[in-house]
Amino acid sequence: MRFYFPDSQDLVSPTYDFLNDEYLATRVRQRDDVYAHEIVAPRPYDGILLSKAIVDPADSRSAGKYAASQRARLYRLGVRRFFRLPDEMDSLGDCGAFNYIDEEYPPYSIEEVLDFYDGCGFDAGVSIDHVIFGYVPSGAEDDVDPAWKKRRIISLDLAEQFISAVKDRESPLEPVGAAQGWSPASYADSVVQLQKMGYHRIALGGMVPLKTSEILDCLVEIESRLEDQTTLHLLGINRVDSMEKFAEHGVASFDSTSVFRQAFMDERNNYHTANDTYAAIRVPQVDGNPALKRRVLAGLVSQADVIALERKCLALLRDYDQCRAGIEETLSALEQYEKLVLGEGAKKKSYLPRYRRTLEEMPWKHCPCALCQKHGIEIAIFRGTERNKRRGFHNLTVLEAKMRKLSFAGRRTGEAAQMRRTSG
């Protein structure tokens, strides 16, 4: 089972100064900062997935994730050199269909997408698709929204044009057909149609909102129609507890940012371990927290007092990590700072009980990953991109370890895809 990490320019600076919260004056982001596969071992994913939508947004009003200079560098160097990928890692491109879900028709042409894939030198690329917004179980398809049917037809038509264009160009790209559907039967039919077009690798899209049982229902229906050489990729799906079952039904790879984003997007499940999750300890920067800045500007709190308490919290957390401060003293400072951040009478529930558990169990002390070993409690502090992304990278190492322990004994695994790639 191969795991692809979708890129959104997620790098960290190896020389970041945590004590003073500052970068080196000579730092150049693309030259000096590093990706997760460069800073942790074993490498936490098998390949990079990059969407055209974040590099070349179809909407001119959208800035995308890549600056003009980064985009030019990507095309100049190619995806492998740009991401500094080792030989054993794959690159997979897609269009980023969720970025244009509100459009009636995908905004990219076949030529534009192939120019992106070939211009960047991807190993494989997904055909243009259009996400379907709903799901109905088997036997309940009588009143399917006509828009859903139209989007499936669009996806299949574009897939046929895409694989034809790949052949006409004699491109070395491995074409991956995108299958959309709203039910087990419609997904299975999309897979059948894609196989007839000549696809041997098929990406199942639009499944992110589905329950695991619904994904399995679809996979069971699809498997009965799969040809021996066909493998499946799950777009945006990370259900590690079900991956063995997914593999039994033809899934060879998947991509997801969920464990990475939980590090700084989730309310409580920020730091992952093999068997549990913990809340990171929030110590927001005074000059980086909009609510706190508004309270300072309004004269409701003293800027000097807030800065002093911010520094006290950080110092106590570091001392606690080195057994030089007690938990009650540390939590007391965090409570004071939380009250200043939230304001009097705030309805938001306090994080203090979660902080207590995190501090009592100190999960970073037992983690073998290089980031936890190097940074200690800094990895568990919710504060700024450098700590938050490192915690996300840590979460990726936990996912990698979980995947390594699974047994993929299904009749189809990632071996078929890997064999094609090696022979190609």
Count CB atoms within 10 A of the CB of residue 290: 8
Q: Are 94 and 47 in contact (CB under 8 A)?
A: no
Contacts of 113 (CB under 8 A, 6+ apart): 52, 95, 125, 128, 162
Q: Are 255 and 236 in contact (CB under 8 A)?
A: yes
Q: Which DSSP symbol is given to 34? A: B
Give the closest residue to 205 by CA, choosing from 342, 99, 324, 314: 99
Helices then strands, each counted (H, E), the chain: 18, 12
Q: Which DSSP symbol is given to 12? A: B
> Strand 174-179 and strand 124-126: pairing?
parallel
In angstroms, how far is CA 6 from the centroid of its own chain?
5
Q: Are 414 and 2 in contact (CB under 8 A)?
A: yes
In angstroms, how far is CA 218 from the centroid of its own chain?
23
Beta strand residue intervals within 189-338, DSSP E: 201-204, 231-234, 251-255, 271-272, 277-278, 281-282
Say which of 7, 90, 255, 321 is annotated catalytic: 255
Q: What b/e sequence results for 85-109 when a residue is b if at least 16 CB atoms lie within 10 Å of its CB, and e otherwise?
A: beeebbbbbbbbbebbeeeeebebe
d(CA 376, CA 271): 13
If you write DSSP's letter for every residue of 84-138 in order, what string do you get? T--TT-EEEEE--GGGGTTSSS-S--HHHHHHHHHHHT-SEEEPP---------T
d(CA 86, CA 136): 42
Give the closest residue to 317 by CA, choosing from 274, 375, 397: 375
* Residues constituting the chain: 424
Helix (H, G, I), strand (E, B) or coil at 78: coil
d(CA 50, CA 96): 8
Helix (H, G, I), strand (E, B) or coil at 195: helix
Active-site residue flag, 217: no
Say which of 94, 123, 129, 189 is annotated catalytic: 94
Q: Are 240 and 372 in contact (CB under 8 A)?
A: no
Active-site residue flag, 94: yes
Q: Could you give the residue numbers annotated as active site?
A: 94, 255
